[in-house]
Amino acid sequence: MILISGLFVVGQPASAGVVLNGTRFIYPAKSKEITVRLTNEGAQSVLVQAWVDDGDAKQSPENTQAPFDLTPPVFRMDTKKSQVLRVRFSGADLPTDRESLYWLNVLEVPPKPAVKDDDNYMQLAFRYRLKLIYRPKGLSGSADAAAQALKWTRQPSEKPDDIMVQAKNDSSYYVSLNSSKISAGNQSIEGPAVAIAPYGKADLIFHGKLPGDPSTWAVDYQVINDWGAFVPVHRSLSH
């Protein structure tokens, strides 16, 4: 018998049975806890393990340094059943002037298949790794306003056929882009999806050229808001 365990870090895979009620989760500092609902839409029961890491995807539940407790950390989910996962901040000296980013991990392990001892089989475990954002009390502005207020400037590019643009976030909130593109008239170039930290910046590389004066170029991007919806934003490109 050969057992091969495959681990996939994914958002919401079609072949996995467990479905979460969100793609990102906000933890307000004033809350005693937040809840995450999981539903097993698969055809078989599964074992689920949940934990939070502080940005290192290799952290296991045993060595995580994230200041969050999850209840229950391990549980069985029968098919078509739901489970509420309670997430509680355990206390830490976090910045009070900006959000802090952590990651919620949910590992789904299917049962061992019914095979003969001499049969080979592959067993796949699916891992969700989703943003968990700790939001302090009294932050100025709002997450929605932060997304609208990104400052975009063109930067020198190392390659002549690339365009580099810097997005600067002057707010206390994380801004997550689902997509980005720059355009000149009816021509456009697709760019990467990135998360920009509070008071941080990100350099986005667009592979291609655009015609005309760069001062007339525009940036279009989709921001992922607190509820996981995509919000389109149109901004001019500065120099």
The domains of the chain, with CATH numbers, are 3-135 (2.60.40.10), 143-236 (2.60.40.10)
pTM of the model: 0.87
Q: Which residues contact 188 (CB under 8 A, 6 or more apart)?
A: 181, 182, 210, 220
Determine the pLDDT at residue 2: 30
Determine the pLDDT at residue 125: 83
Residue ranges in the chain whose pLDDT is less than 70: 1-15, 113-123, 239
Q: Tens of pLDDT along 2-12? A: 333 344 444 44
User: Using an 8 Å Cβ cutoff, are 181 and 190 in contact?
Assistant: yes
**CA 174, 58, 222: angle at the middle one, nearest 5?**
30
Q: How far is it, in rounded angstroms, from Cα 150 to Cα 143?
A: 11
For 63-98, b/e burial (b = at least 16 CB within 10 A) is ebebbbebeeeeeebeeeeebebebebeeeeeeeeb
Q: Tens of pLDDT along 97-127? A: 999 999 999 999 987 766 666 566 566 788 9
